[in-house]
Amino acid sequence: MRVLVVGGGMGGTIFANLLARRIQHEMKTGKARITMLSASHEHVYQPGWLYVAMGRATPDELVREQESLLESGIEFHVDPVEEFHLAENHVKCKSGKVHEYDLIVISTGSRPLPEKIPGLKENSINCYTADDAVNFFKQLSDFKGGRVVVTVGLPHKCPMIPLELTFAMHDFIKDRGLLDKTEFYYTYPIGRVHSLENVAKWAAPEFDRMGIKYETLFNMKEVDGKNAEVLSEEGGAVKYDLLVAVPPHKGQEVIEKNGLGENGWIPTHRASLHMEGEHGKNVIILGDTTNLPISKAGSTAHFEAETAAENVAAVIKIGRPVRSYDGKVFCFIEAGKDRATYAMFDYQNPPQPKAPTGAVHAFKMAYNKLYWASARGLL
C-alpha cells in the first residue's frame, strides 16, 4: 500500500511515525511505503509562541528539522501539493511532480487571517508566528499603562489561547509594577467567556478575582486605528491602548482552491476520520483540516493520528480498521506565569477544569521540552 501524507505538522508527523513503526515488516518487504509532502523543511512547536510573547522562550527553541523527526524509511519531500486529484488517486506538487497513492492523509493545518477584519492586522498584536510573537513581547515590554483589550475571532486554533494570553499578560504587567495603571478588557463573540461552557464557568470567576473586565456577544467588525477603537457587529465600540488579537482562522488556501471544503475545512466523518463523500474511502483527514465540531488543538491532531495510524496498519495487516475516534482532546490552560489547569473532554464528556496549580504548570513546562518525543509518536 502506498500511503501519502500531505502536511508535516503534528497530525501528519505523529501519524507517519506511528504507522511506520507498526508496519516495519511491510515496509522492508516492499508491501507498503510512506511518503510525506510538506511545504517546509521545518517543524514548529506552535503552542510555544505564547512563551516567546512573554519573553520566556526564543523562537529557535521551538523549531526542528522535519526530517530529523521522522522514522527511517519514511520518504520526505519539501514540495507543497497544489492539486488534489482524488478521483485518480494522485496529487500534483509545486515542482510539477505527481505522486500516486492508495491512501492519502491530509493534515495541512490552518492559518490566521487578521486581514479578514478591516484594520485588525495593522492595529493589533498576536502570537501566531515567530515574528508576531517577538513583536508581541516588544510591545508588551514597552507598554506603560492604559487599557489592554483582547479581541477574539472564530474559529481559531489553540482553543485556550484567549484565556492564556489574558492571564499571562496580567502576571507580566503585575511583575512590572504596572497593574494599578492597567485595565484588562476581554471580549468574546458568544454569550460567555469561552466556547466550552464548563471552561467559561471556571474562567469567569478567575477574571473577577483578578479584576479583569469582560464583555460577551462581541463579534469584531472592524478596528478604527485612528480612534483606537474596536467596533462590533452588535454595534458596540471598545477603546484600547494596546489591542491583542486572536484572529479568525481558515484552513489552508490549497484546500479551498481544490474545492475540498468551505473555508479550507474538509468534511470529515467524526469516528472514522475519513473524508465524507464519493472518494472518502481512500482519504483520511487529521487535525485543523477537519470540519469536526471539536477544538482545533495539537492534542486533537495527536489523538486523531493515533486512531488513524492504528486503523491503517490494521487494514494493511488484516484488511479492516479496528477502532473509532472518540473526539478526545486534552488542553493545558496556563492561568498565569506559574499556575495552570487543564481541560480533557471528548464527544460524550465535557471538560471539568480544576483549580489551577503550580504542579500542572510544571507538567506543562516539562511537556514543552518533551514535545519532540511526542512528535516522534513516543509519548
State the DSSP H helix or E strand holding residue 183, giving kind and residue range, or none if neither.
strand 182-187
At which of 203, 221, 249 does a domain end?
249
In this structure, is residue 84 part of a structural domain? yes
Same domain, 6 and 98: yes
Residues 306 and 234 in one domain: no
The model's pTM: 0.96
Residue 259 belongs to some domain of the structure: yes
Q: What are the cell numbers at 220? A: 469584531
Query: How far, CA to CA in Å, does 355 sit from each of 195, 201, 360, 361?
Result: 19, 12, 10, 12
User: Three-class SS of residue 273?
Assistant: coil
Count up the domains in the chain and report the number: 2
Cell numbers at residue 328, please? 478526545
In this prediction, residue 379 carries a pLDDT of: 82
Which SS3 state, helix, strand or coil, does residue 116 take? helix
Does a structural domain hold residue 153? yes
- pLDDT score recorded for residue 224: 98
- Position 336 in a domain: no
**What is the C-alpha to C-alpha distance for residues 76 and 334, in angstroms, rounded to an integer?**
35
Express each pLDDT in 99-110 by its tens digit.
999 999 999 999
Whether residue 229 lies inside any domain: the answer is yes
Closest CA to 292 of 323, 324, 247: 324
Per-residue pLDDT of the chain (379 residues; tens, 9 = 90+): 999 999 999 999 999 999 999 999 999 999 999 999 999 999 999 999 999 999 999 999 999 999 999 999 999 999 999 999 999 999 999 999 999 999 999 999 999 999 999 999 999 999 999 999 999 999 999 999 999 999 999 999 999 999 999 999 999 999 999 999 999 999 999 999 999 999 999 999 999 999 999 999 999 999 999 999 999 999 999 999 999 999 999 999 999 999 999 999 999 999 999 999 999 999 999 999 999 999 999 999 999 999 999 999 999 999 999 999 999 999 999 999 999 999 999 999 999 999 999 999 999 999 999 999 999 988 8
CA–CA separation, 90 vs 182, rounded Å?
56
User: Among residues 308, 314, 313, 317, which one has the least CA distance to residue 289?
Assistant: 308
Q: Domain containing 99: what range?
A: 2-109+252-329
pLDDT digits (tens, 9 = 90+) for 198-210: 999 999 999 999 9
Same domain, 259 and 237: no
- CA torsion, ordered 164, 168, 171, 174, to nearest 10 deg: -120
3-state helix, strand, coil in the chain (%, to 5): 35, 25, 35
C-alpha cell at 207: 477574571
What is the per-residue pLDDT for 253? 97
Assign residue 303 the CATH number of its domain. 3.50.50.60
- 339 in a structural domain: no
- Residue 142, pLDDT score: 98
State how far the alpha carbon of 245 is from the alpha carbons of 241, 252, 309, 316, 376, in Å: 13, 20, 36, 45, 32
230 and 245, same domain (yes or no): yes
DSSP secondary structure of 186-227: EE-SSSSSSSSHHHHHHHHHHHHHHT-EEE-S--EEEEETTT
